[in-house]
Structure 1
Amino acid sequence: MPIDIETFESSGEDRLTAGGETNAERVMHFLATNPDKAFTQSEIRDSTGVKAGSISVVLSRLEDRDLVRHKGNYWALGSSDDIAAYADTLESTRAANDRFGEEDMDEWLEHAVEDEDHE
């Protein structure tokens, strides 16, 4: 699918490289294509290409968001309602990034208002 030249110019190479999914997206995609199975961390790691040092953190964060379930040594896709909300948020974020470009955190922080109550 083609992209507009503004997106081409403003996006980093990692965003424009095929397979530029995040580790969480890779894990979610893998589990979503196997919703009737549960896998060990090593099976998920081997199937997604997520590095050994990252897979535990990725799965834990997904579990904190109720996107995956965990019992013993096994991990499975979370509930359908949570997955639908995740997919909607992901698609909305991608659409906004495609239309307006990705946010630059350093630029955002330059204009952020400091909260005096939390200093």
Structure 2
Amino acid sequence: DWVTETIVNNGEQYHGLNGDILVWNPVTKRRHELTSMGIRVTKKTLKIQLKMSGQEDFLNLPYHQALLNDEIPLSIGGGIGQSRTYMYLLRTAHLGEVSVTVWPKILKDICAQKNIKVLE
């Protein structure tokens, strides 16, 4: 959500709500975002967000048109948060070890060099 006005402790005003859950990942030795619980978009906020980011031309793209015409649900997410949680619990180094998709060859090559087995 980039639209909701929020105020931080110093009184500055920003836009956006978020609820990230971060943990330390001992495998990658970095912070690990388990899930981002940002408020999901509505048709109204989609238009406002695209205007704020100077990307109103996106409204003509097939995906955005499908959202605006109620052809697909406004929120189809959730999988990335689950995959990140699995990554953390299973102590894996890459999302591809717990989530199947089409990975680029260069990514698969890099992972293979590091003995990381991505699912296909």
Q: TM-score range by the shorter chain?
A: 0.3 to 0.5
**Relative contact order (C-alpha < 8 Å, sep 6+): which is higher?**
1
Select the structure that is richer in helix: 1
Find the structure with the greater CA-based Rg: 2
TM-score, normalization: structure 2? 0.37
